[in-house]
Amino acid sequence: MFNSIVLVKQVPDTANISGKVMKDDGTVNRSKLPAIFNHEDKVALELALRIKETYGGKVTAITMGPPRASDILRECLFMGADAVYLISDRKFAGADTLATSYVLSEAIKKIGNYDLIFAGRQAIDGDTAQVGPQTAEKLHIPQVTYVEEIISCQKDTVTIRKKIDGGYEIVEAAYPVLLTVLKDAADTRPFKAKRIMAYKNAKSLTDLEGMTEGNSLLYTDKLVHEYEEKNLFIPTFTMDELKLDPERCGVKGSPTKVFKIESVVLAGGNHIKIDATKTGIGNLIDQLMADHIFG
């Protein structure tokens, strides 16, 4: 039996940025972008679920993000996660990878009882691949990054194929260990209809507060209780609940700062226009031959 914690992230769909989401100052208006489940994190969840199905155990998915990140936690439930936690607090806003890994590592300590921690190699909005290793360091546990395949789990070790520069390695890691996985490590399963029916109404505290807007706090408490009874309540960890040091969270806890952002606008430029015809291209080839690039 192996218990896994999976780190997942909701990311803006950076592959589909259009002019509409750019602000006048050239920065990106994140709230206008569609938010999606970071694909490599989904692959990480898939691997955790397969281990549970083969060896038994429990799969817990956690995400740090704004309230709407509960969307991907519901998706984790649809795929088969046993428990999910939203880690959310206004004071986490503006966190860089160091501050994020601090919060995640403390949340993992609170959940406890894990053999494996899974994460995607990197998230598509920053492509840094830093949060996994930074979290492992804070937990004082080893890591295996760029996982291509989990070969087998033994009692004390897990055997893994990982990518290295120019090849691959087979490694054996002792538990607990943190793994960051590549997108080709597994095909993710579709959501199960039965689980969608069961969990589509799972709600976090903020979700429920939204439902009771204008009503009394008492009513929210009652709703929370009701959803807990039905096993549809997504618990939220805040800064206070995790007893975190405010100096290490959010902007304050982030050593890196964005000093400047430029969006480089490129117009047509001064290039020479070449006709798409054989003659036009032929002339271009003559030019390149004269420049000793061809021939």
Secondary structure class of 208 (helix, strand, coil): helix
Does position 285 interact with other proteins (CB under 8 A)? The reply is yes
Q: Are 204 and 227 in contact, with CB atoms under 8 Å apart?
A: no
Does position 6 interact with other proteins (CB under 8 A)? The reply is no
Sign of the torsion formed by the C-alpha atoms of 176, 182, 185 and 191: positive
Does position 142 interact with other proteins (CB under 8 A)? The reply is yes
Q: How far is the CB of 214 from other proteins (least distance, A)?
A: 37
Pick from 225, 246, 286, 290 the residue near other proteins by CB under 8 A.
286
Q: How far is the CB of 184 from other proteins (least distance, A)?
A: 10
Restricted to residues 246-275, the positions that interact with other proteins (CB under 8 A) are 255-264, 266-269, 271-275
Restricted to residues 177-236, the positions that interact with other proteins (CB under 8 A) are 177
Residues 6+ apart with CB under 8 A from 76: 6, 8, 45, 61, 84
State which residue, 14 or 212, has the beta carbon closest to other proteins: 14
Residue 126 has a CB neighbour count (10 Å cut-off) of: 14
Restricted to residues 8-37, the positions that interact with other proteins (CB under 8 A) are 12, 14-15, 17, 26-28
C-alpha span between 4 and 153 (Å, rounded) = 13
State which residue, 167 or 214, has the beta carbon closest to other proteins: 167
- Of 195-203, 210-218, 232-240, 280-288, the segment contacting other proteins by CB under 8 A is 280-288
State which residue, 19 or 214, has the beta carbon closest to other proteins: 19
State the number of binding residues for other proteins (CB under 8 A).
Answer: 80
Secondary structure class of 233 (helix, strand, coil): strand
Q: How far is the CB of 69 from other proteins (least distance, A)?
A: 18
Q: How far is the CB of 293 from other proteins (least distance, A)?
A: 5
State which residue, 194 or 271, has the beta carbon closest to other proteins: 271
C-alpha span between 168 and 149 (Å, rounded) = 11
- Of 111-119, 194-202, 234-242, 279-287, the segment contacting other proteins by CB under 8 A is 279-287
Restricted to residues 145-184, the positions that interact with other proteins (CB under 8 A) are 145-146, 159, 163-174, 177
Give burial (CB, 10 Å; 0-12/13-18/19+) of 98: middle
Restricted to residues 45-104, the positions that interact with other proteins (CB under 8 A) are 96-98, 101
Pick from 54, 128, 201, 231 the residue near other proteins by CB under 8 A.
128
Encoded tokens for 83: 């428990």
Question: What secondary structure does DSSP assign to 129-167, as a single string?
Answer: --HHHHHHHHHT--EEEEEEEEEEE-SSEEEEEEEETTE
Sign of the torsion formed by the C-alpha atoms of 48, 191, 103 and 251: positive
Q: What is the dihedral of CA 147, 153, 154, 159, to 10 degrees?
A: -20
Q: How far is the CB of 169 from other proteins (least distance, A)?
A: 5
